[in-house]
Amino acid sequence: ISDRMPIEFAPSECLSHTTIYRRIEENKQQGGTLYQQLPRYGKTRWKGGKRKRNAGVSLIPDRVDISERPKIVEARERIGDWEGDTVHGQNAHLVTLVDRCSRFTLARRVFRKTKEEVSDAMIALLGQVDTALTITLDNGGEFAGHMKVHEATRAKVYFAKPYASWQRGTNENTNGRIRRFWPKKFDMAMLTEEEIENRILQLNLTPRKILGGLTPLEVFTGKRVALIA
């Protein structure tokens, strides 16, 4: 909010993040519930045990490692470099794609996490946008149909190192935001298509500090939207 206000208001009308937090605390002390709208953050730490260094790699035919991905992708300076993953739910899942530069998110529900359904979902999602240059995925077997995606979209597909989620940090962060809407074990089969579309739109219309207060939709399209009434 504090990053967004200078975009839409005069400097004299803006509030700092400390002022906003103070007012939320004052509201709580008065019996208000604004504090309940704050996202909760927590870290789940790995407690030990051995991991297979090449876990999942054998499940991906024609896999191209992230080490071969063009250096320009790392710079986040262009639209069209996507990161992909699946958000698991009860009885259904979401296939998500996030543009590394703008943080613009695409999502589509699948009822089975097979390589056929996931690859078809990715093709349908990328058919909605003009630019798909690269896609970076994890090593889940559901992405074994990546060559089908490449042939349909011409986007080059790369795979992160096993257990290196930071190499797809944009997608991991976005999936965490999606979990605020639909926590783990939520029955995603019960959602309507409209509910899914509305939540993803909300995500794309949420200002981001890393984008200088702009929304993913604004950066992706190059157009400004008035958000504060």
Q: What is the pLDDT along the chain (229 residues), one digit of tens a residue?
A: 888 888 888 888 888 888 888 888 888 889 888 888 877 543 444 444 455 555 456 679 999 999 999 999 999 999 999 999 999 999 999 999 999 999 999 999 999 999 999 999 999 999 999 999 999 999 999 999 999 999 999 999 999 998 888 889 898 999 999 999 999 889 999 999 999 999 999 999 999 999 999 999 999 999 988 887 6
Sequence-distant (≥ 6) Cβ neighbours of residue 28 within 8 angstroms: 34, 35
Please state, in angstroms and rounded to a whole number, the distance separating the CA atoms of residues 166 and 169. 4
Residue 135 and residue 32 share a domain: no
Q: Taking the model in full, what pTM does it have? A: 0.79
Note whether 98 and 161 are same-domain residues. yes
Q: How many domains does the chain have?
A: 2
Q: What is the dihedral of CA 147, 63, 158, 180, to 10 degrees?
A: 90
**How many Cβ atoms are within 10 Å of 16's Cβ, its own excluded?**
10
* Shared-domain flag, residues 147 and 101: yes
The verdict on 85 and 198 lying in the same domain is yes
